[in-house]
């Protein structure tokens, strides 16, 4: 990570940089329209197209938001070309080295690192909210034991609005703060309950003498009949995974939370929407895909066969856990986790476990292979988090739940920022309509067999 010579302060308003003109080809450039260009603290400038339709009668077309800034934000910055990730200006590797997850939560929510007194109070407040309403525990019984834990997460987190409706006025900052604490503190409890329910074990209540990651491991793996001792190496690795996944600017699930929240929906409904979006394999499911791929490879001897398949343009197979849409340099989160991954495997003495041996050999070959080097396909965060989570003993179908636990603070911070933004409006994208033009209704007895009556 490059040293940051002089801190750049956040901007209270976007700064007008210059303007660009837009000319409609059809009018031969007769009436160009000017559009303002805003400059953020870092990153590309943005053209303000808010008045484009009013001025020109045009919409913009940008499926997948490849070149569209959907909001302004002071929370997280990603530079994929340089491999930089900043939370409130602090480089992710420095936070991973010196901070802990609950302190990172404070930072993301409040914009600054806490002083000693603030940190103590924040830790206490999170810890004191970890238990869930006892009635909520009965909700789980309505699910099948083999339900996907993310299905339970979507349902139970959405249902929190029915349990904590004493603080649902989103215009009241105090209510928002209470809901934020409840979400961040209770999400690990709910995630662990989803796991316990799926394996038929009793729920384990949180323990206030443990830190966030230790408590999660305790709720996941303790049973009433024997003492469970949290392994500090595993707790530290999990805390790092939480830090590294806490926010990643306007990704699909965060944008979902913002869009749901833009209508004034309550925070639990918005976070449930974020969890639903995260569930998709193109977003939160990649580390599970890494483990499935390693199982499919099965033995170190078969690695060359799979590398060859990954390079073969006629084969849809890709090496899971390699490459990134934004990071075209090392994923800074992967750099941190790689080291931790080796520490965890050493501590557990499982370096010779077949799946992990395949992973390490695959990493070695791919980092050396001209195909991957030339395309800048480095192992991404999911490659290492999948291996670590598996070594910790977390089953692959629960990996996305871990991601949801970590990302809840990012969603909550982004939701709060949106509500506090005086220029915030309900999100309402436009479209390029490609369907029928107006046509007369066709009575049932005049419709063809297969075409709904469009042809006579
Ligand atoms: N294995 C083999 N070849 C690959 C891979 C891969 N994992 N990823 C990209 N390529 C090749 C691709 O075939 C293309 O080759 P060519 O130039 O010869 O046509 C070139 O690299 C560029 O690929 P692309 O699809 O244009 O790159 P992208 O930025 O659109 O895709 C990606 C990014 C993450 C979807 C892709 O790298 C991929 O499918 N990786 C595997 C899945 C994975 O690990 N996903 C997790 C990403 S991290 C999630 C997070 O941050 O939350």
Q: 288: pLDDT confidence band, cut at 50, 70 and 90?
A: confident
Our answer on whether the CB atom of 375 is closer than 6 Å to any ligand 1 atom is: yes
What distance in angstroms lies between residue 318's CA and the mean position of ligand 1's atoms? 7
Whether ligand 1 lies within 6 angstroms of the CB of 11 is answered as: no
- Which numbered atom of ligand 1 lies nearest the CA of 333? 51
Q: Which of 297, 292, 287 is nearest to 341 (CA)?
A: 287
79 in Cβ contact with 42 (< 8 Å): yes
Q: Please write the tens of the pLDDT for every residue from 165-207.
A: 899 999 999 999 999 999 999 999 999 999 999 999 999 999 9
Ligand 1 within 6 A of 337 CB?
A: no
Burial 349-384 (b: 16+ CB within 10 A, else e): eeeeeebbbbbbebbebbeebeebeeeebbbbbbbb
What's the gap in Å between 375 CA and the centre of ligand 1?
9
Tell me what pLDDT residue 3 has: 46
The pLDDT score that the predictor gives to residue 329 is 79
Cβ neighbours for 442, distance < 8 A, ≥ 6 positions apart: 452, 453, 454
**Choice between 210 and 81, residue whose per-residue pLDDT is larger:** 210
> If pLDDT is split at 50, 70 and 90, which confidence band does 369 have?
very high
- The whole-number pLDDT of residue 17 equals 63
Atom of ligand 1 nearest to the CA of 327: 29
- CB of 297 closer than 6 A to ligand 1? no
Check if 85 has its Cβ closer than 6 Å to any atom of ligand 1.
Answer: no
Look at residue 399 in the predicted model and tell me its pLDDT. Answer: 95
Amino acid 286: pLDDT: 84
More confident residue, 355 or 254: 254
DSSP of 339-397: HHHHHHHHHHT-TTSHHHHHHHHHHHHHHH-HHHHHTT--B-HHHHHHHHHHHHT--GG
Catalytic annotation, residues: 324, 382
Per-residue pLDDT at 451: 61
Encode pLDDT of 126-164 as tens digits.
999 999 999 999 999 999 999 999 999 999 999 999 999
Mutate to test the pocket of ligand 1, among 323, 380, 381 (most ligand atoms within 8 A of CB): 323
| Residue reference for tokens 């934000």 | 73
Residue bearing the CA closest to ligand 1, atom 32: 324
CB contact set of 33 (below 8 Å; sequence gap of 6+): 21, 22, 23, 55, 56
Across the beta sheet with 33-39, the strand order is 15-22, 33-39, 46-47
The residue whose CA is least distant from atom 15 of ligand 1 is 375
Q: Is residue 221's pLDDT more than 90?
A: yes
Q: What pLDDT does residue 145 have? A: 95
Q: How many A from CA of 282 to the centre of ligand 1?
A: 11
pLDDT for position 1 = 42
Q: What is the pLDDT of residues 92-130, one digit of tens each?
A: 999 999 999 999 999 999 999 999 999 999 999 999 999
Q: What does the pLDDT average to over 350-362?
A: 82
pLDDT digits (tens, 9 = 90+) for 5-41: 566 777 666 666 666 776 666 555 556 788 999 999 9
Q: How confident is the model at residue 455 (pLDDT cuts 50, 70, 90)?
A: low
Ligand 1 centre distance from Cα of residue 397 (Å)? 22
Alpha carbon of 19 to ligand 1 centroid (Å)? 35
Q: How many CB atoms are closer than 10 A to CB 347?
A: 15
Residue nearest to atom 46 of ligand 1 (CA): 286
Rounded to the nearest angstrom, the distance between the alpha carbon of 454 and the centre of ligand 1 is 43
Q: Tell me the pLDDT of the chain averaged across its residues.
A: 91
Mean pLDDT computed over 388-408: 94
The CB of 291 under 6 Å from ligand 1? The reply is: no
Lowest mean pLDDT among 138-147, 373-382, 399-408: 373-382
287 CB near ligand 1 (under 6 Å): no
Quote the pLDDT of residue 454.
55
User: Rounded distance, CA 314 to CA 316, Å?
Assistant: 7
Q: What's the average model confidence in pLDDT over 388-415?
A: 95
Residue 453 makes CB contacts below 8 A (sequence gap 6+) with 442, 443, 446, 447
Q: pLDDT exceeding 90 applies to what percent of the chain?
A: 74
């Amino acid at each position: 990570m490059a040293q940051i010579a002089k801190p750049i302060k956040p901007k209270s308003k976007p700064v007008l940089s210059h303007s660009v003109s837009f000319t409609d080809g059809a009018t031969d450039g007769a009436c160009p329209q000017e559009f303002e260009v805003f400059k953020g603290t870092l990153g590309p400038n943005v053209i303000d197209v808010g008045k484009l339709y009013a001025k020109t009668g045009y919409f913009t077309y940008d499926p997948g938001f490849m070149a569209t800034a959907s909001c302004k934000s002071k929370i997280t910055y990603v530079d994929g070309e340089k491999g930089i990730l900043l939370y409130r200006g602090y480089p992710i590797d420095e936070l991973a080295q010196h901070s802990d997850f609950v302190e990172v939560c404070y930072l993301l929510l409040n914009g600054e690192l806490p002083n000693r007194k603030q940190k103590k109070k924040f830790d206490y407040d999170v810890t004191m909210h970890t238990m869930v309403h006892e009635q909520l525990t009965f909700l789980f019984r309505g699910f099948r034991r083999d339900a996907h834990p993310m299905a339970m997460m979507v349902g139970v987190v959405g249902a929190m609005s029915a349990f904590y409706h004493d603080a649902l006025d989103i215009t009241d900052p105090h209510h928002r703060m209470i809901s934020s604490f409840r979400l961040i503190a209770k999400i690990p409890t709910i995630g662990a309950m989803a796991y316990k329910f799926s394996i038929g074990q009793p729920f384990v209540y949180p323990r206030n003498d443990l830190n966030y990651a230790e408590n999660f491991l305790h709720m996941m793996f303790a049973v009433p009949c024997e003492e469970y001792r949290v392994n500090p190496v595993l707790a530290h690795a999990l805390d790092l995974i939480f830090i590294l996944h806490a926010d990643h600017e306007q990704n699909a699930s965060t944008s979902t939370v913002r869009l749901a929240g833009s209508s004034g929906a309550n925070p639990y409904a918005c976070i449930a929407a974020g969890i639903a979006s995260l569930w998709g394999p193109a977003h939160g499911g990649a580390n599970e895909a890494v483990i499935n791929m390693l199982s499919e490879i099965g033995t170190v001897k078969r690695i060359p066969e799979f590398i060859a398949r990954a390079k073969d343009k006629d084969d849809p197979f890709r090496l899971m856990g390699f490459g990134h849409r934004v990071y075209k340099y090392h994923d800074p989160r992967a750099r941190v986790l790689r080291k931790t991954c080796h520490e965890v495997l050493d501590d557990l003495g499982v370096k010779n476990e077949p799946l992990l041996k395949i992973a390490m050999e695959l990493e070695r070959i791919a980092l050396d292979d001209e195909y991957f080097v030339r395309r800048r396909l480095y192992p991404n965060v999911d490659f290492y988090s999948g291996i670590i989570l598996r070594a910790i003993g977390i089953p692959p179908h629960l990996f996305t739940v871990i991601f949801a636990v970590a990302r809840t603070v990012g969603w909550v911070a982004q939701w709060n920022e949106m509500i506090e933004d005086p220029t915030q409006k309900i999100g309402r994208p436009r479209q390029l309509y490609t369907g029928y033009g107006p046509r007369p209704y066709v009575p049932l007895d005049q419709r063809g067999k297969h075409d709904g009556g469009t042809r006579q």
